[in-house]
């Protein structure tokens, strides 16, 4: 039997690996995405998703947290517990004019936060309404990444408990319902939503003695925190209609 030829790394064209992040939040009753304005070529001055190149000894998730810290100044306490959802890998040969670059894209869901502080190679960083971001000409193929991330998050909310990632540590059921309505772009029946949430073991946990005034003359609303469950059984399906 003939021995296999030794592996020759030089026989393959080198390429780089990056991460791109669609960081989503709900603020002012609208879904927002974190965008940076690029401070250097290519696409200098264009809006883009935050991200960057993997360093030799980094995982993709570690690169996500480092790049967010450098480009947006998001607090370390948030980045340590940041929930990342891998969207897909983008490998079109000409997606980056500099060289062959393969990007691993992630979606990150966070509660409402103050405006970020740009740093690193980002000239600006802002929360932008998702509808405005999708109508803009984003750098590279970031419009495609953003659309894929939005669709994935919308679907994942049906079968998982990810909606609580958009909420503060303690929240009302009305605030949780507002997350679903904002992400899905449709209204939900309040009693039915409340019944489904409370009937799902481990979805939310009541905060003993916790309550919050939510406006009007009614009694304060009970407070909840995210429970230990990760999946919804049965799923909380979107109302039928256009998606």
| Residue pLDDT, tens place only, 17-51 | 999 999 999 999 999 999 999 999 999 999 999 99
Would residue 51 be called left, alpha or beta, if left means φ above 0 and alpha means ψ between -120 and 50 degrees? Answer: left
Taking the alpha carbons of 132, 138, 144, 146 in that order, is the dihedral positive or negative?
negative
Taking residues 55-81, report their average pLDDT.
Answer: 88
Note whether 145 and 22 are within 8 A (CB): yes
Any idea how long the chain is?
Answer: 243
For residue 163, is pLDDT > 90? yes
pLDDT for the residue numbered 212: 72
Note the pLDDT tens digit of each residue in 167-191.
999 999 999 999 999 999 999 999 9
Is a pLDDT exceeding 90 seen at residue 196? yes
Is the Cβ–Cβ distance between 110 and 75 less than 8 Å? no
Give the C-alpha separation, 99 to 13, whole Å.
10
CB 123, CB 140: distance < 8 Å: no
Query: What CA–CA distances, in Å, run from 71 to 34, 64, 84, 88, 124?
Result: 11, 11, 17, 22, 9
In the chain, % of residues over pLDDT 90 = 74
Residue 61's pLDDT band (cuts 50, 70, 90): very high
CA distance 158 to 21: 22
pLDDT of 242 strictly over 60 = no
| Mean pLDDT of the region 115-143 | 91
pLDDT at position 241 is 60
pLDDT in tens, 103-128: 999 999 999 988 888 877 788 999 99
- Distances in whole angstroms, Cα of residue 140 to Cα of each of 41, 145, 206: 11, 10, 44
Task: Supply the pLDDT for residue 67.
Answer: 92
| CA–CA dist 172, 169 (Å, integer) | 10
Identify the structural domains of the chain with CATH numbers, from first to last: 15-157 (3.90.79.10), 160-226 (1.10.10.10)
Residue 213: pLDDT band with limits 50, 70, 90: low
Q: pTM above 0.75?
A: yes
């Amino acid at each position: 039997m003939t021995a296999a030829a030794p592996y020759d790394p030089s026989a393959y064209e080198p390429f780089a690996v990056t991460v791109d992040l669609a960081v989503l939040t709900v603020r002012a009753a609208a879904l927002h995405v974190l965008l940076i304005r690029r401070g250097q070529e290519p696409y200098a001055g264009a809006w883009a998703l935050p991200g960057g190149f993997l360093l030799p000894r980094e995982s993709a998730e570690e690169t996500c947290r480092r790049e967010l810290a450098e480009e947006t100044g998001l607090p370390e306490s948030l980045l340590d517990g940041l929930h990342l959802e891998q969207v897909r890998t983008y490998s079109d040969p000409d997606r980056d004019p500099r060289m062959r670059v393969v990007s691993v894209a992630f979606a990150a869901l966070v509660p409402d936060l103050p405006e970020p502080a740009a740093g690193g190679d980002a000239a600006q960083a802002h929360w932008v309404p998702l509808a405005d971001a999708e109508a803009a000409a984003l750098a590279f193929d970031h419009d495609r990444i953003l659309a894929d991330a939005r669709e994935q998050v919308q679907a994942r909310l049906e079968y998982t408990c990810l909606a609580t990632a958009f909420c503060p540590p303690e929240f009302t059921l009305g605030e949780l319902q507002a997350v679903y309505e904002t992400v899905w772009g449709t209204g939900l029946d309040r009693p039915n939503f409340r019944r489904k949430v409370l009937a799902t073991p481990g979805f939310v946990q009541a905060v003993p003695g916790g309550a919050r005034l939510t406006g009007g003359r009614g009694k304060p609303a009970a407070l909840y925190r995210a429970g230990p469950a990760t999946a919804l059984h049965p799923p909380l399906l979107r109302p039928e209609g256009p998606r």
